[in-house]
Amino acid sequence: MKLNKIFKWGMVALILVSVILLIWGFSQGFGGNTVDVLLYWTYAMLGIALFSWVVIGLIVGAKNDPKSLVKIGIVILGVAALCFIAWILAKGDPAVGYTGVPVSAGTLKLTDSILNLIYIVGGAAILAIIVGEVRMSIASKK
């Protein structure tokens, strides 16, 4: 029960900080440094989520079934490989027609990597839906 409360209040704190940063961004007009702060907060939230997923998965997996640690390791390696592929495919070119503040090459590469990752995962999700529906329709005919 205590762990549940920690997660609940941790989530509330992260949501409050996110809302405060969003309001700050709107009040500043999302110019210059504001976007960088919001991007860094997004990176921090993703890092916290990934860390929590891995650590909690390891702890729960080790308690319930020690053999599941191998499966978790394989999944983590698969996700890392997918991220690496998305990073390799990223060009890092500036946006066409963008006349705003120039962005560093590293930020462009990271942004393109995230977009590639979204495309890959989105395509895989659509493919999984289609394959699942076809399998269910075939199984229901038998």
- pLDDT tens per residue, range 2-59: 767 877 888 888 888 888 887 877 777 766 677 777 778 888 888 888 888 778 777 8
- Contact in structure between 64 and 91 (CB atoms under 8 Å): no
Q: Long-range CB contacts (< 8 A, 24+ apart) of 119-122?
A: 120/82, 120/85, 120/86, 121/82
Q: What is the pLDDT of residues 43-54, one digit of tens each?
A: 888 888 888 877
Structural domain including 135 reads 66-142
Q: What is the pLDDT of residues 105-142, one digit of tens each?
A: 888 898 899 999 999 999 999 999 999 999 999 988 76
pLDDT attached to residue 101: 77
Q: Where are the alpha helices (DSSP H) in 29-104?
A: 33-64, 68-89
Phi and psi dihedrals of 90, rounded to 5? -75, 130
Residues 12 and 27 in one domain: yes
Q: What is the pLDDT of residues 96-111, one digit of tens each?
A: 777 777 778 888 898 8
Residues 36 and 95 in one domain: no
Q: Which of 29, 64, 99 corresponds to the end of one domain?
A: 64
Q: Which of 47, 64, 81 corresponds to the end of one domain?
A: 64
pTM of the model: 0.58
Residues 6 and 45 in one domain: yes
